[in-house]
Chain A
Amino acid sequence: MASPIGSLLWKEWREQRWKLGYGCGTLGAFTAIGLRARLLPDLGIVFLSGALGAGIMSALVAMGLVAAERDEGSLECLLALPVRPAVVLITKLAVGAAACLAPLAVAAAVACLMAGGREMTTGRILLAYFGCGEFALCALVWFTAFGLRQPTEAQAVLVAIIVFGVWYAIHIVFTELPYGWDEPGALTGMAHPFGFSVFLTSPDRSYSAGHAAALLAVQAAEAGLLLLWALARFGRPGRATT
């Protein structure tokens, strides 16, 4: 803890470590049981564990990053420190990202060990979890940005559910999102948070590295804009008591 950033990272790690441990245990066990039981094809289990892990962990982590501190009242203490609010939020997101990705890494390891080369190649499994990891990061940024001003954790989760519902509605309405840059309305598909993971996990879709890179670039730009929006609002205090 020699520097302010080190200090902030330590604090965030201490606050998120239980969620990280819980996520790793639960998702690893879910994946193992699913693959062992064989109620679904391996692809189904991989997709389910990845999507559930990414969606639930990102919502759980996002609610703890800002809303929990606002709820407890310690955010005021944090914002009054001689450190830029942007640094505070970025360290929060960095630890939050680790807490979202670690369970997916555990699930990927379990899936590779138990089912690598059985119905899917190990490379394909890793690629699927990579897609879910990308979705988890997108979801974390979206949920954090939209839930930033919520006064309680419950309200932050509600916001995450609404955001997720809107994504899902768009996904349903468009049925098959266009992912390639040469398809009409391609940007909608590329900007959709489901885009990259659905693209990677679709068994019938042929893809190229160029397509994947374009999707990643669009989603990174989108996350960057959301982050800027969040940073602009994070340091701004709520209505003061007089």
Chain B
Amino acid sequence: MSDPAIEARSLAKRFGARDVLHDVSFTVPKGKTFAFLGRNGAGKTTTIRTMLGLLKPDAGQVRIMGLDPRRDAMEVRRRVGYLAEDQAMFGWMKGSELTRFLRPFYPTWDDGLARYLAGAFELPMETRVRNLSKGESRRLGLLLALVHRPGVAILDDPTLGLDPIMRKEFLRDVVEHLQGSGVTVFFSSHLLYEVEPVADEVAILDGGRIIRQASTETLRAGVKQLLLPAEAADELPKLPGVLDVRKGDHATAVIVEAAEDALRVLGEAGIHPQVVDLNLDEIFEAYVAGRRHGISDRQPVVERVA
């Protein structure tokens, strides 16, 4: 197996008394699109800034294409395309001036690709950056992150502040120009339904901790909602991997991490629940809401309902 494109091990970071990252570990294989999901304040940007060597972690380490971002910060930044969250560029520059300004910093800069992407993204390159719309500005940021042909593209909440149509267009651009090109994409977002069509693998970050990392297929295949009749809830056996429980008047909804195992246990007890597929948004909510409600995924369901 080849070396991963990004590897983070036991990252920890505190700001004053606040524990922003705690034992964060993840691996991103080369050429994959990795979605880093978390609510606002979960620690996504801190993780990204640590990956780029802009922040020093209190503990743990990161490797980007085998390089240490603290020791080899310049080389990492040359090889990484970075689009910051709500990135502000130099408003007085025109798009063409901005590309001319940035070109000398990257030995692998490709003018042909810059022209191609400017056309593909329909960017007015002779307009000052401050006069671009939000969507154009984000697309210009994406162009600048890709034009030096990076091995890894880090996009920090790239659709933040865009309207739904612009978000779709932006994601279409990401899919068209990044996926299949061999570039590893690290994509942070709090809008989960967005990453669903583009992500190969997902990590869910909550309160500075990774609470799950898996491929999108594994998550969707494993995490299911089981709808049980209300009367069955009182006689439930202990279920493995419960993420969240919602008890209604007529039914109890139990979200489990490994539906197959839970269905086997329920089947042995003579209970046959209705199985509901969940999208990534609902899966994320189950993980995060379950933690918020103090539900540990290793507790038996009847105790939690009580």
Q: Hey, which bits of chain A sit against chain B, CB under 8 A?
A: 1-4, 6-7, 10-11, 14-15, 72-74, 76-77, 79-84, 237, 239-242
- Report the Cα distance A1→B105, complex, angstroms: 10
Contact of B78 among A72, A73, A82, A237 (CB under 8 A): A82
Chain B residues in 8 Å Cβ range of A2:
104
Chain B residues in 8 Å Cβ range of A237:
49, 54-55
Q: Which residue of A lies closest to B20 (CB)?
A: A242
Contact of A240 among B45, B91, B93, B208 (CB under 8 A): B45
Inter-chain pairs besides A10-B101, A74-B90, A77-B84, 10 sampled, C-beta below 8 Å: A7-B102, A7-B105, A77-B88, A80-B84, A82-B74, A82-B78, A82-B105, A84-B74, A240-B46, A242-B42
Q: Are B104 and A3 in contact (CB under 8 A)?
A: yes
- Report the Cα distance A83→B101, complex, angstroms: 13
Distance of B91 from chain A, by nearest CB (Å): 7
- Report the Cα distance A10→B208, complex, angstroms: 41
Contact of B104 among A1, A74, A241 (CB under 8 A): A1
Chain B residues in 8 Å Cβ range of A4:
104-105
Q: Are A77 and B104 in contact (CB under 8 A)?
A: no
Q: Is B138 in the interface zone, CB < 8 Å from A? A: no
Q: Are A73 and B106 in contact (CB under 8 A)?
A: no
Q: Are B46 and A82 in contact (CB under 8 A)?
A: no
Chain B residues in 8 Å Cβ range of A7:
100-105
| Residues from 57 to 113 in B contacting A, C-beta threshold 8 Å | 73-75, 77-78, 82, 84-93, 100-106
Q: Is B180 in the interface zone, CB < 8 Å from A? A: no
Q: Are A73 and B88 in contact (CB under 8 A)?
A: yes
Distance of A2 from chain B, by nearest CB (Å): 6
| Residues from 16 to 55 in B contacting A, C-beta threshold 8 Å | 20, 40-46, 49, 52, 54-55
- Report the Cα distance A145→B114, complex, angstroms: 38
Q: Are B91 and A72 in contact (CB under 8 A)?
A: yes
Contact of B46 among A72, A73, A79, A242 (CB under 8 A): A242
Q: Are B88 and A72 in contact (CB under 8 A)?
A: yes
Contact of A242 among B41, B84, B93, B102 (CB under 8 A): B41
Q: Are B15 and A239 in contact (CB under 8 A)?
A: yes
- Report the Cα distance A77→B74, complex, angstroms: 14
Q: Are A74 and B89 in contact (CB under 8 A)?
A: yes
Distance of B142 from chain A, by nearest CB (Å): 14
Q: Are B100 and A80 in contact (CB under 8 A)?
A: no
- Report the Cα distance A77→B93, complex, angstroms: 14
CB<8 Å pairs between A and B, sample of 17: A1-B103, A3-B104, A7-B102, A7-B103, A72-B90, A73-B87, A74-B90, A80-B54, A82-B73, A82-B77, A82-B105, A83-B105, A84-B74, A239-B15, A240-B55, A242-B20, A242-B46
Q: Which residue of A lies closest to B91 (CB)?
A: A72
- Report the Cα distance A24→B101, complex, angstroms: 27
Distance of B292 from chain A, by nearest CB (Å): 17
> 5 tightest A-B contacts by CB?
A73-B88, A82-B77, A82-B78, A82-B74, A7-B104
Distance of B48 from chain A, by nearest CB (Å): 9
Q: Are A80 and B55 in contact (CB under 8 A)?
A: no
Chain B residues in 8 Å Cβ range of A3:
104
Contact of A11 among B43, B87, B101 (CB under 8 A): B101
Chain B residues in 8 Å Cβ range of A77:
84, 87-90
Chain A residues in 8 Å Cβ range of B91:
72, 74
Chain A residues in 8 Å Cβ range of B104:
1-4, 6-7
Q: Which residue of B lies closest to A239 (CB)?
A: B15
- Report the Cα distance A80→B87, complex, angstroms: 11
Chain A residues in 8 Å Cβ range of B55:
237, 240
Distance of A224 from chain B, by nearest CB (Å): 25
- Report the Cα distance A4→B101, complex, angstroms: 8
Distance of A202 from chain B, by nearest CB (Å): 43
Distance of A29 from chain B, by nearest CB (Å): 27
- Report the Cα distance A92→B209, complex, angstroms: 39
- Report the Cα distance A114→B55, complex, angstroms: 56
